[in-house]
Amino acid sequence: MSAALAHAPRGFVLRADYDRVQRQLDEARERLAYFEAEKRFEEDAAATGPALWKLTPVQAFIVRLLCARSLLTRSVLVENWPTGPEPHEQSCDVFISQIRARLAPFGIRIETVRTRGWKLDRETRAFVRRAMEGDADTETYGPAVAPPGPSKRPCDADLQRGILERLEERRYLAGPLRRALSTSHAYFAPVRDRMEEEGLIEIRRSRRCLFHTITEAGRARLIALREQDAPAAETEGRNGSSH
């Protein structure tokens, strides 16, 4: 007789009882896997890099993600978020800004790839990886990185033309269109709304999505703007050729 049969309870076992015990076992396995994942994260987060960097466990986790790939996209950051609910896009930007502030005094620059994500160059990535593992000779990579200056408000006419030029190519959702123009919502929304009122663009609202398309009036306005620039460009070309 096998050991399993020797220790099995005598008598008939109801299917419902078997299913109940099986569900309990599955739930216990899921809880165990969750706690093991949390334990691994805590162990990884315990090594937060050089003490002078003063990274929090979550910040250190994000820095490791930056070191592990040539480009850290927002989707990858959200999918690999270490703990708690998945963050919003703005939360990701806040965390990256905090990390930039912590690493800038040590010459470490995090580059923003417009509309895609963030990256470290190859040499910086190698240095940061060694520092996070405790192998770097020093915590400082180079001269301190100057913080970015205050964002300059774009000219309304330039922003309007940028919207028309991008919508000439294809239809855009609100978020990607604003990011493609590298401007904040505070500057983008009023100009966009005025263009809708003037009939230059059309906005189709579907639940939480706003689909933007250019109208015939918008195309005409864009052609007129380009024609205004044409004489100036020809004059510059003639002046340049005369020299």
What domain range includes position 164? 156-242
The pLDDT value recorded for residue 71 is 92
Q: Are 165 and 127 contained in the same domain?
A: no
Number of domain units in the chain: 2
Q: How confident is the model at residue 233 (pLDDT cuts 50, 70, 90)?
A: very low
Question: Domain with 72 in it: what CATH number?
Answer: 1.10.10.10
Select from 43, 35, 75 the least CA-distant residue to 60: 43
Contacts 24+ apart (CB under 8 A), 207-210: 209/173, 209/174, 210/173, 210/174
Q: Are 128 and 52 contained in the same domain?
A: yes
Q: Are 123 and 163 contained in the same domain?
A: no
Residue 96 domain-assigned? yes
The pLDDT value recorded for residue 151 is 52
Residue 26 domain-assigned? no
* Angle in degrees, CA 58, 44, 98, rounded to 5: 20
Residue 79 domain-assigned? yes
Q: What is the mean pLDDT of residues 198-206?
A: 89
Q: What is the mean pLDDT of residues 119-140?
A: 84
Q: Are 166 and 119 contained in the same domain?
A: no
Residue 93 domain-assigned? yes
Q: What share of the chain in percent tops pLDDT 90?
A: 21
Predicted confidence (pLDDT) per residue in 20-73, tens digit: 888 889 888 888 877 776 666 556 545 788 888 989 888 998 999 999 999 998
Select from 129, 154, 147, 157 the least CA-distant residue to 63: 129
Q: Are 127 and 196 contained in the same domain?
A: no
Q: What is the mean pLDDT of residues 89-100?
A: 85
